[in-house]
Amino acid sequence: MKTITSSEFEKEVLQAGKVAVDFYSSECAPCDALVPKFESCAEIYGDDIKFVKIFRQENRELANELNVKSSPTVLFFENGKQVGQMLTGGIKRFDLMANLDAMLSPERVAELKSKIKKTETHYETVILGGGPAGLAAAIYLGQAKVKTALIDQSMPGGQISITHKVSNYPGFIEPVQGFMLSHYMSEQARATGVEFKSAVDVSSINLKEKYIIVDGVETVHFNYLIVATGSSPRLMKVPGELKYKGQGISYCATCDAKYFQDKEVIIIGGGNSAIEETEFISKFASKITIITHGDALRANKEAQSQVLNNPKVTVRYNSEPKEFIKNEDKMSVVIENKLTKQQESISADGIFIFIGMQPNVSMFENAFETDQWGYIQVSDEMETSIPGVYSVGDINSKKFRQITTAVADGTIAAIAVSRKVQ
């Protein structure tokens, strides 16, 4: 594999037949996570496809010409023309291989994949999930010299990595950006020697035999497992929601608020997340309508005060969404007043939904004892109903879910495991 500059791009890429190009940056965790995947793909496909790397920071003009706006970004070329998908961020091995496969004949792909060598690795403890709970566990286990791997299907950080600002985490006088807090945590964990397997596909999990298959090629064995897979935005199950998800309906203010500069937005929800994200979205939107089913907001009083005193914001109480509709570039929601049962339609440029979260437990196929909402029940030491398997963070059954409570869970589980190992 060769690292090239913009002056070599014409010869090494455009005139070189089939080529995969990795635009990378320094001090970039997703770039570091991509390295072993890109290198392993080069070993598999290298006789048919050329693999090159370009340091984006020193080749910005070329990057801009190719519309490369972030690192890492992988582009695919064939006979001087760009083909396939532009892959960015937490790039998975599966997506790399899918694009590489598309550049070759089915017969050749089958031949190459028949030669892929599967590997096995062994750890005392595996942490599945890289949010605050998983990272806290990693820090404690790493410092206790317990051989540990952290497996994450995305990039470390969990929900806080897409949270605008965190104002209540101890140690920060001023609010800290969510992605920076997750960066500090993950770097602290890496420094202890914990091995990270980020942006991977978990092919299967066997809790009885104690192994996880990653990307279909690596079998990761463990003696102890800490589940830290967290939760995901809860869906409303209202007609039109899934149809327009990502096409007018969003669940992430940090990701999408910037696209609503001087536009009108509807926010559904009345709890802490909805109100805190309203404050952020108001930096961009010209008008915000909050729709909540209660007769009052449920967020903390300080956040409520800031939002209710914002001239851009109005609140519709006792209202329930019944349907989402899209008309050209506009989104509408049909709401019903709980008291009068009257319905009306409200339109805006986009809709954000913040009505809570749901546990990410589907991969475990009902293996654990859970509460009525599907959250995992654990002991005081965070051990699940399966001996040797622990669960931490927002996936657990508990009354309060905060970054600090997640970190506490991870700490407790890690100490419990490290004592058993010793």
Average pLDDT in the 196-205 region? Answer: 91
CA–CA distance, 378 with 365 (Å, rounded to integer)? 17
Domain range annotation of the chain? 2-113, 119-232+357-421, 249-353
- Check: CB of residue 308 under 8 Å from CB of residue 281: no
Nearest 5°: CA angle at 216, between 213 and 218? 55
- Here the tokens at position 232 are 């995901």
Look up the CATH architecture of domain 2-113. 3-Layer(aba) Sandwich (3.40)
Determine whether domain 249-353 maps to CATH 3.50.50.60.
yes
What angle (nearest 5°) sits at the alpha carbon of residue 172, between those of residues 169 and 173? Answer: 120
**Residues 40, 370: Cα–Cα separation, whole Å:** 39
Whole-angstrom CA distances from 168 to 368, 404, 406, 410 are 32, 9, 14, 18
CA angle 190–407–152, rounded 5-degree value: 50
pLDDT digits (tens, 9 = 90+) for 331-363: 999 999 999 999 999 999 999 999 988 899 989
Q: Residues 400-404: what's their mean pLDDT?
A: 90
Q: Which CATH number fits domain 119-232+357-421: 3.40.50.10320, 3.90.226.10, 3.40.50.300, 3.50.50.60?
A: 3.50.50.60
**What local confidence, expressed as pLDDT, does residue 364 receive?**
93
Local structure of residue 370 (DSSP, 8 states): B
Q: Do domains 2-113 and 249-353 have the same CATH topology?
A: no
Q: Which tokens go with 219?
A: 């079998």
**Residue 207 — pLDDT band, cuts 50, 70, 90?**
very high
Q: What's the mean pLDDT when you consider all of the chain?
A: 93
- Can you name the residues that pair with 18 across neighbouring β-strands? 78
Res 2 pLDDT > 80? yes
pLDDT of 159 over the 90 cut: no
Backbone angles phi, psi at 315, to 5 degrees: -125, 135
Give per-residue pLDDT as tens, 39-80.
Answer: 999 999 999 999 999 999 899 999 999 999 888 999 999 999
pTM of the predicted structure, to 2 decimals: 0.76
* 133, 407 contact by CB (below 8 A): yes
